[in-house]
């Protein structure tokens, strides 16, 4: 990471991402209260891990799947056509403009950079400018590739160009086509062996995911598709606004530290420790039980020491306020009253607009199927927090995007709960949800 860049732009991220706690730098470390300085160091460490730590997962993405070879392409010593910047942006990868030298920014503005050349992608990886990806580039060759938390749970503000801008940590990347990216790997035999299928089946499952979706349970139960034939993948959720929220996944697997360890070890394939005896259930989690995912211990453990700082950083990521002009203010004010009158706040309790404590709902309660709920130990759906809802309108709503618009969600509950809302009340309620 460019330390001068961190010092220069630390105040920017303080204002946009954190709740009143600035990051510590070498200049002011220890200059104030020791407890405050320690907290600031912890946040800085958490941000570093969230943005740049692969937890050693290059062994999997590079060494096992050989994904880096597909990125660099045959002309540069890899395989296939390679991944150009234009292709990378098309599958939803983002570029951190603050990691680009001014000369490169100028060349990009003036059209002097060949965005169809995979060599430019390698140059961006060498600059650590591709959000969520770390590439080991030496002598013009991409030696390996690793992924970070930021790959799925960060975006950019598009201030420079579409897909290029300042980082927005915690935002769900609903443009990211994880399945298409993983499918580029020339060797998916390890995944196929784990799932006890052939590579063609793995690629079929990945192709069905589409932008903004990922299937965290695939490596646990092997269910690539729903009973109706649709993809079993779910929408990537935001990682902001989680302070005070007890359950941090669509189906209530557990807390932030739990899910960070789960993802880092079982999904990112980093080297660390993870344990959950619930996964030792061959009937519900045949893949996990067979692979011993209920008890994973790697040496060295590159995950566990990062969990406290990651937790602190994610709790500090406030849900961004809806921009003025993005919703009708008078309608939203009326919609807030509808929200209370319709008793939406009985589950979506302010200020988190989630449900305090531990409470899950059955599919029947929500008027939907229980397929995804039954892929988790508690077999229920949590009450999703609504703060910052405006940032992830793309891709639909609920865990799988089954409702294309907020009005579709309102119409569903109006019918399911017999609310008998008028057209204006529904419209006002939508504006209120957009304002949160």
Q: Does domain 329-435 have CATH number 1.10.760.10?
A: yes
Kindly tell me if the per-residue pLDDT of 425 is higher than 60: yes
Please enumerate in sequence order all residues whose Cβ is within 8 A of that of 333, keeping only pairs 6 or more positions apart, or say none: 432
Kindly tell me if the per-residue pLDDT of 302 is higher than 70: yes
Residue 19 half-sphere exposure toward CB, CA atoms < 13 A: 14
Q: Please give the backbone phi and psi of residue 293, each rounded to the nearest 5 degrees, phi first.
A: -75, -10
State pLDDT tens for residues 84-107: 999 999 999 999 999 999 999 999
State pLDDT tens for residues 154-202: 999 999 999 999 999 999 999 999 999 999 999 999 999 999 999 999 9
Q: Where in the chain are the domains?
A: 3-179, 329-435
List, in sequence order, every residue forming a beta bridge with 95; answer none if it has no partner.
Answer: 130, 164
Cα separation of 377 and 260, whole Å? 17
How crowded is residue 300: how many other Cβ atoms within 10 Å of its Cβ? 9
Q: Do residues 174 and 212 touch, judged by C-beta distance below 8 A? A: yes
Q: Please give the backbone phi and psi of residue 405, each rounded to the nearest 5 degrees, phi first.
A: -135, 165
CA-based nearest residue to 277, from 260, 264, 263, 258: 258
Q: Is the peptide bond before 300 cis (omega within 30 degrees of 0)?
A: yes
pLDDT confidence of residue 21: 39
């Amino acid at each position: 990471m460019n330390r001068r860049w961190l010092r220069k732009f630390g105040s920017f991220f303080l204002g946009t991402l954190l709740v009143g706690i600035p990051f510590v730098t070498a200049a002011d470390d220890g200059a104030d209260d020791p407890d405050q300085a320690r907290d600031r160091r912890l946040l800085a460490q958490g941000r570093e891990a969230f943005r740049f730590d692969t937890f050693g997962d290059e062994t999997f993405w590079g060494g096992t799947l050989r994904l880096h070879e597909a990125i660099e392409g045959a002309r540069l010593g890899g395989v296939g056509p390679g991944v150009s910047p234009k292709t990378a942006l098309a599958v939803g990868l983002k570029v951190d403009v603050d990691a680009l030298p001014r000369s490169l920014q100028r060349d990009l503005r003036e059209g002097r950079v060949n965005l169809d050349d995979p060599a430019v992608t390698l140059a961006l990886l060498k600059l650590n400018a591709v959000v969520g990806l770390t590439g080991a580039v030496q002598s013009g060759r991409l030696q390996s590739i690793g992924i970070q938390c930021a790959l799925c749970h960060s975006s950019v503000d598009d201030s420079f160009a579409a897909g290029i801008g300042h980082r927005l940590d915690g935002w769900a990347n609903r443009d990211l086509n994880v399945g298409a990216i993983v499918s580029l790997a020339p060797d998916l035999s390890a995944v196929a062996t784990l799932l006890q299928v052939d590579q063609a089946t793995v690629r079929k499952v990945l192709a069905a995911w589409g932008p903004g979706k990922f299937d965290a349970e695939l490596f646990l139960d092997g269910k690539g598709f729903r009973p109706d034939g649709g993809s079993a993948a779910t929408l990537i959720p935001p990682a902001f606004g989680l302070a005070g929220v007890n359950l941090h996944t669509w189906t209530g697997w557990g807390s932030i530290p739990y899910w960070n360890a789960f993802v880092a070890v079982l999904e990112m394939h980093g080297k660390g420790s993870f344990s959950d005896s619930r996964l030792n259930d061959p009937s519900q989690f045949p893949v996990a039980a067979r692979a011993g995912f209920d008890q994973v211990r790697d040496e060295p453990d590159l995950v566990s020491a990062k969990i406290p700082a990651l937790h602190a950083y994610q709790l500090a990521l406030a849900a961004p306020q809806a921009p003025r002009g993005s919703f009708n203010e008078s309608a939203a004010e009326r919609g807030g009253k509808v929200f209370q009158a319709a008793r939406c706040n009985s589950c979506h309790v302010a200020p988190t607009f989630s449900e305090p404590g531990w409470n899950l709902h059955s599919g029947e309660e929500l008027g939907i199927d229980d397929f995804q709920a039954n892929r988790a130990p508690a077999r229920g759906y949590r009450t999703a927090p609504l703060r910052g809802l405006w940032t992830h309108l793309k891709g639909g709503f609920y865990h799988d995007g089954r409702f294309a618009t907020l009005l579709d969600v309102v119409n569903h509950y109006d019918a399911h709960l017999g609310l008998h809302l008028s057209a204006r009340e529904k419209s006002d309620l939508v504006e209120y949800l957009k304002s949160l």
